[in-house]
Amino acid sequence: MESKETTETHLAYLRKGLDEVKSDVRDLRGELHDGMKETRANIDALREELRDGMKEMRADTDALRGEMRADSKSLRESMDQRYAKLDAKIEKNHSETSAAISQVREAVASLRGMHIAMVWIVGAVGTLGGLAVTLGKFFHWY
């Protein structure tokens, strides 16, 4: 068995080693605590950057939305103007076409009357011619 002094020496070394371990643990705790503070500070900084980025993105989105609304309004107004112009052109062409159709109807009606008159005249001339031929043969004029 070992002597009491040797045991005490071992115990002294063990205590010294334990003290060093405790000191190392304390140092590590301090470093860990400092690291946690730094990490929290980094997280807070990232959170602020993210908030700023989100604010910028919202502002950009709002600006783009405003531009899109303005463009949409401008496009709608342009389309309304073009529709009005086309509507006026269509209305003008419709009026002109209706007038031309009316003129054609009047011309057809006058031609129809003239056609009927020509049929009657040709019929009368044919009848008179036939009567003249018949009378001429009857009276032996030819």
pLDDT in tens, 66-115: 999 999 999 999 999 999 999 999 999 999 999 999 999 988 888 888 88
- Residue 103 sits at the vertex; the CA angle it makes with 102 and 109, to the nearest 5 degrees, is 90
* Residue 42 lies inside a defined structural domain of this protein: yes
- Domain-embedded: residue 140: no
Total domain count for the chain?
A: 1
- Domain assignment of residue 10, yes or no: yes
pLDDT of 109: 84
Tokens of 6: 């040797």
Residue ranges making up the domain that contains 12: 1-102
Q: Give the span between the Cα atoms of 48 and 59, in whole angstroms.
A: 16
Q: Give the model's pLDDT for residue 2.
A: 64
Q: Establish if 70 belongs to a structural domain.
A: yes
Supply the Cα-derived Rg of the chain in whole angstroms. Answer: 58
Answer yes or no: is 124 within a domain: no
